[in-house]
Structure 1
Amino acid sequence: MTGDDFGHLAYLLVILVFVGFWVFGSQRQRVSKSIQHLAIWGLIFLGAIAAVGLWDDIRSTVQPVQTVMQDENRIELPRAPDGHFHATLVINGQSVKFIVDTGASDMVLSKQDATRAGLDPDNLPYFGRAMTANGEVKTAFVRLDEVRFGSFTDRNVAASVNGGEMSGSLLGMSYLNRFAQITIAGNKLILTR
């Protein structure tokens, strides 16, 4: 908490004390009602403190937005509530959601996303191997005709299709290396070309 936060908290405590004195002073005859009102005001006060303290988290959860800064040649990705950075790319004309994974060597498509991008995952040669947290999986090397990420368009992009079950696609270093700079600042991942 910063000095401003302590100042706001002190201000709210002063208001709570005045409200409490007013409730007890105006309701002397009915002490049980006064205690009930005080409890209600206390809950309202705690709710206000929680809302103020969590406002940035609430705002970023409700509206996490992938931002493209065309004049600066950069893309900003907000950190999602799950702690990861998610990106939406257009592959062969179809939107595909990725988890940005700097620990992954390749851009890896799930079978479902490969199908969405116009590939036939059931007829791909799964000759490659990749080590994952769940063990070794078979992969198929593919070339994507067109990949658009914000205002950036790349053609003939190398990627892999995961032969196993995968909940989503991974945006790994084979694609991220196209950016000159990858920066994490606060709750944003900034990709600059």
Structure 2
Amino acid sequence: MLGYAVIVLAIVLTLRYLVTGELMPQQHEGWDLWGYALAISLLVGSWLASSHNRMGSMVKQIGGWIAFICLLIVVYGYRHELGSVKDRFFTTLMPGQTISQSSNRSLTISQSKDGHFHTVLTINNQRIPFLVDTGASTIVLSPGAASRVGFDPDQLDYTRRFRTANGVVYNAPVVLKKLELGGIRMQNVPAVVNGTAMRRSLLGMTFFNRLKRYSVHNERLTLEW
């Protein structure tokens, strides 16, 4: 049983490292009194459980309750850090998944296997997949996506001329009345409808310019508003 207690202690220290990036407590933290109380209570409780004295059963129950209370205190104290760990877990498990962090008004999008960032926006109550493209000056809707959000591609005026690597293309300017991504809400956002078919719509700078900031770090795109 003592060996199991040592394993538990190692798990506690590993969790601390994953949450805070530090293995040992820092001076200003007071050595994480409750976290180490949890580890010690588990260690001592396991040792007592291995003994066969008459008090062993009662002490084991008391030790178990102490460990449980300490665990609740530690989880509550690190609730924000643990939320960040949860987000990192899901973005790793599901690349391209948008994870909302409403407590600090930010979103995290993980990089997909193709090296790009993909996400899904709700436009005029329709879910539309997008490829993030900060090199695009505006939001570019494919003809199919435009139809889904209420535009008739055959009735639009394709007056904007763009030169791309594949040649010259014509776009039709439109305005998106309502756009949503997680906790982000935008209204009357300028966009264009592409004159030719596209594999996926592009999320360009008319979206990003309305944010407080955005950044890319460790294969994650963070949006703040």
TM-score by length of 2: 0.58
Query: Structure 2 stretches of 5 or more lacking a match?
Result: 1-87
Classify the secondary structure of the residue corresponding to 1:68: strand
Superposed displacement of residue 131, structure 1: 2.2
Q: Percent identity?
A: 39
1:1-193 to structure 2, matched below 5 A, reads 60=92, 62=94, 64-193=96-225
Moved runs in structure 1, 4+ residues, more than 3 A?
59-64
Higher relative contact order (CA 8 A, sep 6+): 1
1:159 Cα offset (Å): 0.4
The offset of 1:105, in angstroms, is: 0.4
Offset at residue 118 of structure 1 (A): 1.1
CA offsets, 1:24-64, max 9 Å, x none? Answer: xxxxxxxxxxxxxxxxxxxxxxxxxxxxxxxx9xx836554
Which whole-Å CA distance do the structure 2 matches of 1:63 and 1:158 have between them?
28
Tell me which protein shows more strand as a share of its residues: 1
Root-mean-square deviation (Å): 1.7
The letter for the 1-side match of 2:100 is V
In structure 2, how many angstroms separate the alpha carbons of the residues matched to 1:177 and 1:72?
19
Retained in 1: the 8 A contact 2:133–2:203? Answer: yes
Deviation at 1:149, TM superposition (A): 1.1
Alpha-carbon distance change, 61 to 82 in structure 1, aligned in 2, over 3 angstroms: farther
1:86-126 superposed Cα distances (whole Å, 9 cap, x missing partner): 11110000000100001000100000000111111111000
User: When you count helix as a share of all residues, which structure comes out higher?
Assistant: 2
CA distance in structure 1 between the partners assigned to 2:93 and 2:181 by the alignment: 22
Shift of 1:65: 1.9
Residue segments in structure 1 that go unaligned for 5+ positions in a row: 1-55
Letter in 2 for 1:120: D
Any conservation in 1 of the 2:95–2:113 contact (CA below 8 Å)?
Answer: no
**TM-score with structure 1 length normalisation?**
0.67
Q: Distance between the aligned counterparts of 1:61 and 1:69, measured in 2?
A: 17
- Whole-Å separation in 1 of the counterparts to 2:116 and 2:95: 15
Q: Assess if the C-alpha contact under 8 Å between 1:99 and 1:170 holds in 2.
A: yes
How far did 1:145 drift?
1.2
